[in-house]
C-alpha cells in the first residue's frame, strides 16, 4: 500500500499537476484568476509508441517531425503532430475500454462531420478527419488499438469562461450544432455507448457497484451515496418523458463542456464543437444541461473547497440566450425541460464519478488517488445548489424564450 502511494505521489503527471496548482496560486496574487498549465515535450526515444510508423499510415501532408501530448480529456490519449511541411494534426488513440466499437464510433463521426461540412461556410466550422492510405477513417494496430487523425484547427478552448461573451459563444456553438443537425436522420447513428445518458440505467449500474464495493471504499462515502440514492426519482424524469414520447429524440453531442468549443483567436467567436465521440441520438436538455453543469459552475469540476461551488444564475441566463438564439426548432416541452436537464446532467456525472471511485477508478483518468471522489463531491454540491434555484432557472428560460421569439 505504501509503495503504491509513493508511486502515485511521484508519478510525473501528479507532480506536474501539483506544480501547476502551486504556480496558479502564486500567479493569482499578481495577475488574478488564471489557470497555469504546463506542457511537456516528450523526447522521441521515450515515447511509448512508434508515432512515425503509426502516422505514416495516414494521408498526411509531409513527414512527422515533432509531437507532444495534447489536451486534458478524461478518456482518449491525444497527441499533436507537426510535419516537415508545417502541417499540424491531432493523433488520437481511442479508449477501447470506454468505446467498445470504435468502427461504429468513427462511422457516426464521419457521417456527422461530412454533413456539417456541407452546411458551413468556413472549413474551421467542422472537424476534418484524415483517411488512411487505404481509405479508412481509423487505423487498427497490432495491439488491437484504434487510432485516428484529424486536422489541428487554429483556435483555442477554455476550461472556464473568461467573460460572459465566451460562455454566450459556447451556447451559440452547441445551439447551432443542434440546429444544423435538426434534419439529420438520428436513427441512422449508432448508440456508441449504449444508455449513455439513460439516468435510470445509470442508477442500476450504480447500485450494482454498491453491491460489489471491490475496494471497501463505500464506508467512507456513505453520505454521498445517500444523496445520490435520494435523488433517484427526479433523476429519471427526462428518461421517462422520452419513453412516453413527450420529448423527441435528437442528434446530440452528449459531452457539451465549454472546453469542447473551439473559439477563434482573433474574434473569440465560436468556430465549432469538438470531441464528437459521443454524438448519437439523445435529448436536447442533456446537451444544454451538461454545458450549464460545467460552465455556469463557480468552481472547477475538481475543486477541493466545496464552499466555492455553486451555480451562477447570471451565467445560466447568458448561456440560455446563446443556445436558444441558435437552436430555433426545439419544441415548447423541450425548452421547458432545459433547467431539469442541468440538474439531471449534474446528478448523473456526480453519480458516475462516485461510482468510478467505488469501482477503483477504472473509467475516468485521475491525477491523484481521491480525484474521482473530489469530482463527485463538487457535482453533488452543485445539484443541491441548483435545487434551490430551480424556480429562478425556469423563469429565466421562459423570459429568454419570449425575447428570442419576438
Q: Which stretch binds Mg ion (CB under 5 A): 275-283, 303-311, 348-356, 358-366?
A: 275-283
Query: Is 361 a binder of Mg ion (CB under 5 A)?
Result: no
Phi then psi for residue 156, to 5 deg, are -150, 160
User: Do 55 and 61 meet the contact criterion of CB atoms below 8 Å apart?
Assistant: no
Q: Please give the Cα distance from 185 to 126 (Å, whole number).
A: 18
List interacting residues with ligand GN1 (CB under 6 A).
73-75, 98, 255, 275, 277-278, 301, 349
Least distance to ligand GN1, CB of residue 190, Å: 14
* Binding partner at 98 among Mg ion, ligand GN1, none, C-beta below 5 to 8 Å by kind: ligand GN1
In 61-164, DSSP assigns E strands to 64-69, 77-83, 88-94, 129-130, 139-140, 146-151
For residue 310, what are the contacts with CB-CB under 8 A and spacing of at least 6?
A: 297, 298, 299, 381, 382, 385
Least distance to ligand GN1, CB of residue 1, Å: 28
Least distance to Mg ion, CB of residue 257, Å: 8
Q: Please give the Cα distance from 224 to 351 (Å, whole number).
A: 9
Least distance to ligand GN1, CB of residue 290, Å: 6
Task: State which residue, 277 or 317, has the beta carbon closest to ligand GN1.
Answer: 277
| Residue of the chain from 224, 275, 302, 356 that contacts Mg ion (CB under 5 A) | 275
User: Do 353 and 376 meet the contact criterion of CB atoms below 8 Å apart?
Assistant: yes
* Binding partner at 301 among ligand GN1, Mg ion, none, C-beta below 5 to 8 Å by kind: ligand GN1
Task: State which residue, 75 or 342, has the beta carbon closest to ligand GN1.
Answer: 75
User: Do 108 and 276 meet the contact criterion of CB atoms below 8 Å apart?
Assistant: yes
User: Do 178 and 186 meet the contact criterion of CB atoms below 8 Å apart?
Assistant: no
Task: State which residue, 101 or 132, has the beta carbon closest to ligand GN1.
Answer: 101
Task: State which residue, 60 or 273, has the beta carbon closest to ligand GN1.
Answer: 273
Query: Is 255 a binder of Mg ion (CB under 5 A)?
Result: yes
Interface residue list for Mg ion (CB under 5 A):
255, 275
Amino acid at each position: 500500500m505504501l509503495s503504491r502511494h509513493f508511486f502515485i505521489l511521484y508519478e510525473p503527471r501528479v507532480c506536474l499537476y501539483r506544480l501547476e496548482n502551486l504556480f496558479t496560486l502564486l500567479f493569482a496574487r499578481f495577475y488574478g484568476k488564471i489557470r497555469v498549465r504546463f506542457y511537456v515535450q516528450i523526447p522521441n526515444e521515450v515515447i511509448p509508441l512508434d508515432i512515425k510508423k503509426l502516422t505514416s499510415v495516414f494521408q498526411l501532408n509531409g513527414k512527422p517531425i515533432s509531437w507532444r501530448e495534447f489536451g486534458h480529456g478524461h478518456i482518449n490519449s491525444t497527441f499533436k503532430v507537426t510535419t516537415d511541411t508545417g502541417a499540424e494534426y491531432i493523433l488520437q488513440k481511442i479508449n477501447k475500454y470506454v468505446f467498445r466499437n470504435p468502427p461504429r464510433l468513427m462511422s457516426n463521426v464521419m457521417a456527422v462531420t461530412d454533413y456539417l461540412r456541407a452546411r458551413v461556410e468556413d472549413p474551421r466550422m467542422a472537424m476534418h478527419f484524415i483517411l488512411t492510405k487505404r481509405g479508412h477513417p481509423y487505423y487498427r494496430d497490432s495491439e488491437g488499438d484504434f487510432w485516428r487523425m484529424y486536422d489541428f484547427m487554429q483556435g483555442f478552448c477554455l476550461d472556464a469562461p473568461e467573460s460572459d461573451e465566451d460562455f454566450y459563444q459556447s451556447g451559440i456553438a452547441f445551439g447551432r450544432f443542434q440546429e444544423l443537425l435538426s434534419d439529420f436522420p438520428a436513427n441512422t447513428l449508432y448508440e456508441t455507448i449504449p444508455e449513455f445518458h439513460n439516468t435510470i440505467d445509470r442508477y442500476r449500474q450504480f447500485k450494482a457497484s454498491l453491491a460489489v464495493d471491490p475496494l471497501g471504499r463505500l464506508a467512507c462515502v456513505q453520505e454521498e451515496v445517500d444523496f445520490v440514492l435520494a435523488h433517484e426519482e427526479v433523476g429519471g424524469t427526462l428518461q421517462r418523458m422520452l419513453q412516453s414520447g413527450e420529448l423527441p429524440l435528437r442528434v446530440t453531442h452528449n459531452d457539451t463542456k465549454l472546453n469542447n468549443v473551439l473559439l477563434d483567436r482573433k474574434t473569440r467567436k465560436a468556430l465549432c464543437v469538438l470531441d464528437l465521440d459521443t454524438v448519437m441520438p439523445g435529448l436536447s436538455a442533456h446537451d444544454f444541461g451538461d454545458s450549464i453543469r460545467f460552465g455556469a459552475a463557480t468552481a472547477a469540476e475538481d475543486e477541493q473547497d466545496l464552499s466555492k461551488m455553486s451555480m451562477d444564475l447570471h451565467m445560466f441566463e447568458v448561456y440560455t440566450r446563446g443556445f436558444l438564439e441558435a437552436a430555433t426548432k426545439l419544441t415548447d416541452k423541450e425548452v421547458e425541460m432545459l433547467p431539469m436537464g442541468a440538474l439531471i446532467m449534474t446528478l448523473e456525472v456526480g453519480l458516475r464519478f462516485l461510482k468510478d471511485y467505488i469501482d477503483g477508478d477504472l473509467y475516468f483518468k485521475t491525477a491523484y488517488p481521491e480525484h474521482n471522489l473530489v469530482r463527485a463531491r463538487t457535482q453533488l454540491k452543485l445539484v443541491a445548489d441548483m435545487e434551490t434555484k430551480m424556480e429562478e432557472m425556469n423563469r429565466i428560460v421562459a423570459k429568454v424564450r419570449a425575447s428570442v421569439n419576438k
